[in-house]
Every structure is written in structure tokens, then in C-alpha cells.
Structure 1
């Protein structure tokens, strides 16, 4: 059983991670639009740099031996390769591709079909039962995302079809990422898992667009890139994956819906894109969902 104290730690981690992830998406949108940064280059660069930083941090801990020892287990190495390619890289690339073709707000909203996918998957596998809270929180997430995306009218949905496809795929990737990480976390520290997964994903994409193959970047662009790598990638993924040790996969994924909220707010107030009344209603739905989960006093079992 997960007690109240450890559960609160999990809630704090996933809220911070999701918020940084959302803001990082908005900053990435600015890099795409204002500085002409290539999607492949940004994804490979941010994964490699963030992965190396995470492993450096891990090497300073008492469990530093895990950084190398994890590579001595062939079964775990295979699991890492799967997680790095179909979890880490898939989440990063589909998300960034959706941002590039649409915008950060839409990309993050579509990505958060993941909670529904996870709940359906667990129900089909008979690993959980559908509870009243599942229905309420998932409904709030879906209604909130619908209003944020459409502003109350399907005729106003002007996002290009490729952006929607990449966004839905990012939801599938996030669901897989969330569930697949749990067994690995039972054996090794989250920094080791996330760090190596990022390096694996970054190296794979480097064959398509090497990080060193980039034109001149201004000081401002470098600052934005630093934020995306350190805050929007390294810390965001670390906090998110770490929260799985304190919360169920369902709860972590639904609480992670703060990502679209932070993406929308930064898109509106920083990039100054228009925001309608129904979109604010959608924001309220997401906040309500988070409050319901945060104020729940009863401990939950890890599914």
C-alpha cells in the first residue's frame, strides 16, 4: 500500500514534471517558428544531452554502480532498447512533430488521450476495475481537452491533419512509456533508466540528423535550447518517471494532464495566441480533475 506521505511526494513530482514538460513544448514551438530549428535535430540533441546529464547526476549517488551494471544484464539491456526506442524516442518525436505541424497546446492536449488508453488497457487485461473516480477524472480530462482544442465548436478545429495524427500517436507512446517503465524501476533507479533510454533514443535518431550538423544559433536560441534540454526534458522526464514509484500508472497519467494546462497558459500569455471562453472552461475541467486526485485521502495500490 502507498501511504499518504509518499503519495503526496508522487503528486508533487508528477505536477512539476508535467508543468515543465508543457512549458518546454511551448519553448520548442518558438524554436521551430522563430529560429527554423529542425525537429529531428532538436529531438536527437535534447535526448543525448539530457541523457548524459542524468547519468552524470546518477554517478554522484551511492548507487552510481548501476550506471554500468545495468549494461551487464542482457535481458535488461533488451528492455532498455525497447523502452528507449518505443517509449522515450517515440514520445519525444511524435510530440515534437505535432508541435511543429500544429502548436504546443494542441500537441499536448492530443497526447493526453494516454490516461484513457491506460485505463482501457488495464481493464482489458483485468488488472483493475472501473471505479467511479476513474469515470469522473477521465471524463473531466476528456471534456477539458475537447473544449481546449475546439473552443466549443468542431468547425473551429483548424489544426492540420498530420498534427492530429502525430498528437494521437504521442498519446499511444506516452501510455506505453508509462506502463513499460514500471518493471524497470523495480530493479534500477529512475535516473539510470531515463538516462540510458534518452541516450539510446538520441543515438538512434542521430543516424538521421546528427546533433553536430547544425547551422549557427543565436545566443537567445541557445538559451531556449538550454531550457528545453534541462528543464523541459531532463527534469520533466525524471520527475514524471520517478512519480511512478509513488502513484499508480493511471493516476500519474491523469495528473500529468497539467502538461496541456501549462502549455496552453504559456502559449496564450507568452506567444500571445488567442484563447476563447470554452477553452478556459476546459482549463477549469483539468484543474478540477487534478484537485479531485490531489485531495483524495485514501491510499492507492500500485496497479
Structure 2
């Protein structure tokens, strides 16, 4: 691989990961200062980002896949399940955790998903429990404990609803990642994730229609934040991530992708001025270390599978 292509790949994955991390903090700003509802933001975010991803597929890749995915009944059913219990579920639980807590904790809890996948594969006897798995799970558990308690067993430093939604976000992300494998072997990731976002957004529209918002009374600053979350934090972040796989290995992409929780933590602390104790910083370091350990693990990885994460 030539150096310009590699540099381009690194730029894309770094940008995508940072945009993902920052978008969570921006979403918290919208919840906290502009009374934007989680249901409305998730609905709008999914619908617009999904349409944009399919538009990219139409103009840059095999456009026939956009309709072909619906011609196989079994694939269509799997896609709907993936959309509702994967894409919609992970987006909603993540945003709900941010609303009740903050983007840093929500992102770090979501990154427990790889540990959940390891445990799932071991229980299904599809892999064996190794020393590295033991270290990984230990880092995750210790990091999670310190992050949520700040070293004090008598009280939680994070609201319980934020913890519940955050853990559910990790569970749904684990399902999202595992369930996507057969779909992504047959179709481009832009098609699968694009349609999944549209289906998820359409389903949530019955609860909170995206057009039910006071756009006239919304400050310009809030509108700009919305554009950032939808365009930069969702559509472009995902697109940049999958494009980076054209010039980087999945392992390298996963490794650099660990900048997402770091970006979420730093922006939460520095921009929103959220308090973060010394033990929470240690817990954060443990979880990021766990992510790096998983990324460096020598194991065969399907390129399209890796593209489904986040």
C-alpha cells in the first residue's frame, strides 16, 4: 500500500472516530440546554443519515444493491430485525444514557460490547477462554467499577438511569455487531446500514414524528449543533470509517478508532465542564486499554464485519 493512500486512510479513521466522540457531547448539549428530546433526535438522525448513506451508495458504488436487498425475503426479514433491535436500539440506548448522564460515561459503557461478545462466543463454545481474554474482561470490569463509583463503594458517581441505558447500549451494540455479519457478507455496508437507519427512524417516527419540532423558535446555535450531530457525527463519521478500510487493515482501523471514547471524555470534561474524579480517569484508562488490547489481538477479522461497528 502506497504512503499517500495510507495517510488518507489514517486521516479518515481519525476524523471519523473524533467526530463520533464529539457528537455525543454535542448531543448532551442539545439535551441539557435546548430541551431537545431523545426520541426526536434519534428519529431525525437516523432518517437523514440513512438517506444520505444510500445516496452515496447510489452515486459511488453498485446502485442495484439498494433495491436488490429487498428481493430476498429471508434477507429482508434479517434486515428489519437488524434495523429495529440493532441500529435503532443501539442509537436510542446510547442517546438515552447521554441524556441521563454524560457522553463520556455513555461512550465508555458502550465500549463494553466487545467483552460481551467474547463472553457470548465462549458460552456458545465458538472460542476458548485465553489469558488475554482474562486480562481484557478484568480491565473492563475494573474500569467500569472505577468509572461509575469514582472509587467509593458507598455511592455511585453516575445516575442509575445513565448506567442502565449505557449497559443496554453495550448489549445492543454487541448484538448489532454479531448479527450484521451475514448481511455484510452479501451486500455493501452502506446499503445495510443505510436501510437499517431509515427503517429504525421510520419505526420511531410513530412515537415521535420528526416534523413535530419548534424549528422557528430554535436558536441558530442549536440548529448548527443538530447539523453537526446528524451530518458530521453520524453520516460522515460512518462513511469516513468504512472508507478507511480501503487503505488500512481492520486491526489498524479498530486501534485508531479507540480515539472515540477519548474524544468523548475530553470534550465532556473540557467543554461541558463535567466533573471527573481521579478514579474515573483511572477507570477510563482501563477501558481504553481494554479497547487497545482487543484491537491488537491477532485474530482473523472480516473487513466488512469491522465496518459495521459504531
Structure 1 and Structure 2 fold alike (TM over 0.5): yes
8 A Cα contact 1:94 1:167, kept in partner: yes
> 2:230 maps to which residue?
229
CA distance in 2, matches of 1:149, 1:295: 26
Q: 1:204 to 1:60 in 2, by over 3 A?
A: same
> 1:28 maps to which residue?
27
> 2:3 maps to which residue?
none
Q: 1:291 to 1:171 in 2, by over 3 A?
A: closer
> 1:4 maps to which residue?
none
8 A Cα contact 2:107 2:261, kept in partner: yes
Moved more, 83-92 or 11-20: 11-20
CA distance in 2, matches of 1:200, 1:206: 10
Q: 1:136 to 1:20 in 2, by over 3 A?
A: farther
> 1:275 maps to which residue?
276
> 1:157 maps to which residue?
156
| Deviation string, structure 1 residues 91-133 (Cα, Å, up to 9, x no partner) | 0111111211222222223223312211111111111122222
Structure 2: gaps (5+ residues): 1-6, 306-310
SS of 1:93's equivalent in the other structure is helix
Q: 1:150 to 1:237 in 2, by over 3 A?
A: farther
CA distance in 1, matches of 2:114, 2:188: 24
Residue 144 (structure 1) shift: 2.7
Moved more, 185-194 or 67-76: 67-76
CA distance in 2, matches of 1:137, 1:11: 25
CA distance in 2, matches of 1:244, 1:97: 30
8 A Cα contact 2:115 2:140, kept in partner: no
8 A Cα contact 2:108 2:287, kept in partner: no
- For residues 73-152 of structure 1, the aligned pairs below 5 Å read 73-152=72-151
> RMSD between aligned alpha carbons?
3.1
Residue 223 (structure 1) shift: 1.1
Moved more, 133-142 or 174-183: 133-142
The number of equivalent residue pairs is 294
| Deviation string, structure 1 residues 55-101 (Cα, Å, up to 9, x no partner) | 00000123121111112221111111001000000001111112112
> 1:3 maps to which residue?
none
Residue 190 (structure 1) shift: 0.5
Structure 1: gaps (5+ residues): 1-7
CA distance in 1, matches of 2:296, 2:235: 28
Q: 1:136 to 1:12 in 2, by over 3 A?
A: farther
> 1:51 maps to which residue?
50
> 1:63 maps to which residue?
62
- For residues 258-297 of structure 1, the aligned pairs below 5 Å read 258-293=259-294
8 A Cα contact 1:67 1:192, kept in partner: yes
TM-score under structure 2 length normalisation? 0.83
CA distance in 1, matches of 2:97, 2:288: 24
Q: 1:17 to 1:172 in 2, by over 3 A?
A: farther
8 A Cα contact 1:151 1:277, kept in partner: yes
Q: 1:227 to 1:148 in 2, by over 3 A?
A: same
> 2:172 maps to which residue?
173
Q: 1:172 to 1:255 in 2, by over 3 A?
A: farther
8 A Cα contact 2:142 2:286, kept in partner: yes
CA distance in 2, matches of 1:299, 1:160: 37
> 1:185 maps to which residue?
184
8 A Cα contact 2:111 2:291, kept in partner: no
8 A Cα contact 1:115 1:138, kept in partner: no
Q: 1:241 to 1:95 in 2, by over 3 A?
A: farther
- For residues 189-228 of structure 1, the aligned pairs below 5 Å read 189-216=188-215, 217-228=218-229
